[in-house]
Amino acid sequence: MSDVISTASDTSLAGTAEPSGEPWWKGAVIYQIYPRSYRDTTGDGIGDLKGICEKLDHVASLGVDAIWLSPFFTSPMHDYGYDVADYCDVDPIFGTLEDFDALVEKAHRLGLKVIIDQVYSHTSDEHPWFAESREDRTNPKADWYVWADAKPDGSPPSNWQSVFGGPAWQWDARRKQYYMHNFLTSQPDLNLHNRAVQDVLLDAARFWLDRGVDGFRLDAINFAMHDRKLTDNPPSGLPMDRVTRPFDMQRHVNSMSQPEVPAFLERIRALLDQYGVRFTVAEVGGPQPLGEMKAFTEGEARLNSAYSFDFLYAQDLTIGTVQDSLSAWSGAEGEGWPSWAFSNHDAPRAVSRWSGAHDQRQVSRLLMLLLLSLRGNAFIYQGEELGLPQADVPFEALKDPEAIENWPHTLGRDGARTPMPWTDDAPFFGFSRGDAWLPPDPAHGPLCVTSQEASPGSCLNVTRQLLRLRQDAQALRIGAQSFLHGSNAILAFERSVEDDLIVCAFNLGDVEAVWRPEGGGEKWQVLATQDGVVDSAAAFPGRLAPKTGYWARRKRLSADNELD
């Protein structure tokens, strides 16, 4: 399995091909960019839109279909952009609207779609809407946020808890009421039960659609509505060894996840349909997200896709985890299309969570092979194509408010947000000429882009090879999925469309294992392993070493009904 075919980078590989009869987004691979940490062109240590534009050729060379940009909107940055103070402008630290337009133009020229975040559950407390809402109880925006009176004893209106620790209610002396915040106290929750609030959010969405964006990721959308009776949440019953914050001690059936959310999503979908083929994906957190994911994507009038934290927060990669997550999406009529992510800006990098005692460079390639074989869309987080491990960020350098508040019991998000390493012969690995907002980890230097460009077997070049193959293989991009084997460390399933059938097999265990699909090497041609695309004459593997895998295509029958 070492006969790897090297493929040169080629920006023409950017995902422009569309399967016959299918929208561009179905089976797409989407590359997430965290703007603060991608490329800084001004020397202030913070990444910017011009930096992203500068590095789009790298993204296009991978062969992905689209980019997803985390928030770049006007914000005081208490939660690094997820506290929006103006939905329709670019924060000056990232650039200007003209910079954004230039980025969209170049992305489209390279064949890349552009997806941006929309944060509808809350705003910053510095948003003008909130400034007006908190003035008194009678102003035009008085009920644009979630306000409630104190209980007779002065305590909060309900027992709801904030994700970042402490009650989800903050007292405001101006109105002599509490306002709700599922996250930081500086992130007051919008009242999406109010039709006028929905309308202004749709206006904001229209603003970006008019500028050429190709879709939205809806952040924390299941937090968008609350029980209007303010009913207490019941206890979760979790044992204390699984609790790091009061939020974990409740079932959040009343503070979020309300049945009115899908009707708002239908309004979003109706707007996007006015702009042709656009893509919407929901982020759905929580211990049991499947029901909401299905509801949010049901039929043709809601969102296209949704993803959960099934893999993002999993401490171990097990066969059961993969089977349970994927089996929930059968492809039944009316069912939405799933999306999958192993890493993102909110979760520790997967290669650090799942490598154990094994070589991280090998595991990083195996994880890419697995991610790109799953039925659904694949999200690749910046640096995942390099196999970056979780960075070590000392306490004194932390920026993440959740990590600082709960240190050391919460690992926090900063270790996944450190700057992208471009070259090992420049300060801050080529990210910036000034002090980076988070310190780069020295361990990332040898994994930088320029070093991996020169190595045919690097995670970067293997990623390019696998993405090229996925683009050309409709079975991998949009095919059905059925499991063949799931025990003794071997995970195996088929991907199929029409007469094209590809088997994907992985040894997720710690010891060598034996497994062959029906017919063995006589019936199947190996296409790729964790080391990349293989020569067509490569021998079929009889054994799988730990943390290895392959894709193999069933050989087609010739005219005389013999295997080719």
Catalytically active residues, by annotation:
219, 283
Cβ contact 101:211 at 8 Å? yes
> Position of tokens 């450190």?
418
Q: First vs last Cα of the chain: how many Å apart?
A: 21
Q: In angstroms, rounded to a whole number, what is the distance separating the alpha carbons of residues 6 and 4? A: 6
CA distance 289 to 329: 13
- In this structure, are residues 284 and 224 in contact, taking their beta carbons and an 8 Å threshold? no
Contact 229, 131 (CB under 8 A): no
Reference 82, options 113, 122, 45, 35; nearest CA is 122
Are 97 and 90 within 8 A, CB to CB? yes
Q: Which helix (H) or strand (E) holds 117?
A: strand 113-119
Kindly state the tokens that stand for 485: 């084997």
- At residue 233, φ and ψ (nearest 5 deg) are -80, 145
Report angle CA 338, 27, 302 to the nearest 5 degrees: 45
Determine contact, residues 497/475, Cβ cutoff 8 Å. yes
Separation between Cα atoms, residue 398 and residue 152, nearest integer Å:
40
* Long-range Cβ pairs for the range 248-251 (8 Å, 24+): 249/161, 250/159, 250/160, 250/161
Sequence letter at residue 422? W
